[in-house]
Amino acid sequence: MATTPTPTPSTAIEHKKVHIKLVPNVGMTNRCFVFDVVDRELESGGSVLKLGRYSDRTVVSDRLSFKSKVVSRYHAEIWLSDQDGKIYIRDSGSSSGTFVNHIRLAAANTESATPHQVVDGDLIQLGVDYKGGLEPMYRAVRMRLEVDRREWQEPASNTYNLAAFQQLKNQINTAAASTSAEEVQECCICLYCIAPFQALFIAPCSHIYHYRCLRPLLTQNYPGFSCPLCRTYSNLEASVAVEENEVLQMLGLSNLPTATTTNTTSEEDEDDLEEAPHNHNREKTILDEDTLEV
Q: What is the pLDDT of residue 158?
A: 66
Highest mean pLDDT among 47-56, 110-119, 131-140: 110-119
Mean predicted confidence (pLDDT) in 81-101: 94
Cα 46 to Cα 31: distance, rounded to the nearest angstrom: 35
Q: Answer whether 0.85 is exceeded by the pTM.
A: no
Region for 35 from its dihedrals, namely left if φ exceeds 0, alpha if ψ lies in -120 to 50, beta otherwise: beta
- Which residues lie below 8 Å from residue 118, measured CB to CB, with a gap of 6+? 78, 87, 88, 89, 100, 124, 145
- Domain ranges (residues) in the chain: 7-148, 151-241
Q: What's the pLDDT tens digit per position in 214-233?
A: 998 888 888 888 898 888 88
Q: Which of 57-66, 76-85, 108-117, 163-172 has the lowest mean pLDDT?
A: 163-172
Q: What's the pLDDT tens digit per position in 250-294?
A: 777 766 554 444 444 455 555 554 554 444 444 443 444 444 444
CATH number among 3.40.50.720, 3.40.190.150, 2.60.200.20, 2.40.50.140, domain 7-148 = 2.60.200.20
Q: What's the pLDDT tens digit per position in 147-197?
A: 988 654 555 556 666 776 676 666 656 544 555 676 788 999 999 998 888
Domain 151-241 belongs to what architecture? 2-Layer Sandwich (3.30)
Q: What is the pLDDT of residue 259?
A: 43
